[in-house]
């Protein structure tokens, strides 16, 4: 789903970018970054995290986003960054071969995707054996999720994904991921989950 002008304004603010970069660095401390690895950011937006990763960890980095305006912005100022590229792509149909990436990162993207389980399936497909999936997103509580899905069905609004812990945990288990790290921060209607998973 292409982001709205308000969402792009929020995501492209320097303060937001720095906060997401700090989260990425903290979660990547749970990842074995030794050796040259291919790194993918799904939902890269303006590319701030991908650019930071390419510079700091000297990895080959790909960033994808469904919004071509964000990809155009991400491609700015990358001439001095080795091994980085950005492309417009749907996360439910990633244009990469199987088992290509050692690390895949997705921050705050899945709740924008109605068929987010398909997007997670694509992430699992392109991840190498023993690769790492670094994740952060909103997880809705059971009652809130049921109400949201019912309302979306009645109104014909299926543009947002409503993720529950049950659905995510089921996917993680069926996809042979092990949990390296996970932390939930609660609020009234949902909680934010940050996690690092490793494929078998």
CATH topology classification for 5-199:
Rossmann fold (3.40.50)
Q: What is the DSSP string of 45-88?
A: TTSHHHHHHHHHH--EEEEEES-HHHHHHHTTT-TTSTTEEEEE
Q: Is the pLDDT of residue 111 over 70?
A: yes
pLDDT band at 153 (very low <50, low <70, confident <90, very high): low
Beta-carbon count within 10 A of 176 CB: 12
Residue 38: φ, ψ to 5°: -85, 135
Confidence of residue 162 (pLDDT cuts 50, 70, 90): confident
**Residue showing tokens 């949201």:** 148
pLDDT of amino acid 160: 62
């Amino acid at each position: 789903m292409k982001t709205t002008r308000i969402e792009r304004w929020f995501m492209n603010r320097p303060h937001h970018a720095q906060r997401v970069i700090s989260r990425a660095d903290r979660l990547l401390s749970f990842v074995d970054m030794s050796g040259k690895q291919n790194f993918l950011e799904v939902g890269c937006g303006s590319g701030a995290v991908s650019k930071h990763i390419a510079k700091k960890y000297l990895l080959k980095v790909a960033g994808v986003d469904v919004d071509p305006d964000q990809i155009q912005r991400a491609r700015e100022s990358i001439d001095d960054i080795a091994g980085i590229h950005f492309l417009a792509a749907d996360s439910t149909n990633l244009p990469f071969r199987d088992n290509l990436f050692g690390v895949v990162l997705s921050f705050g993207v899945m709740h924008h995707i109605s068929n987010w389980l398909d997007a997670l399936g694509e992430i699992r497909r392109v991840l190498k054996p023993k690769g790492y999936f670094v994740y952060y997103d909103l997880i809705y509580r059971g009652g809130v999720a049921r109400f949201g899905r019912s309302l979306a069905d009645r109104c014909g609004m299926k543009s947002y994904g409503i993720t529950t812990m049950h659905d995510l945990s089921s996917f993680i288990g069926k996809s042979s991921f092990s949990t390296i790290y996970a932390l939930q921060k609660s609020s009234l209607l949902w909680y934010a989950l940050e996690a690092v998973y490793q494929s078998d």
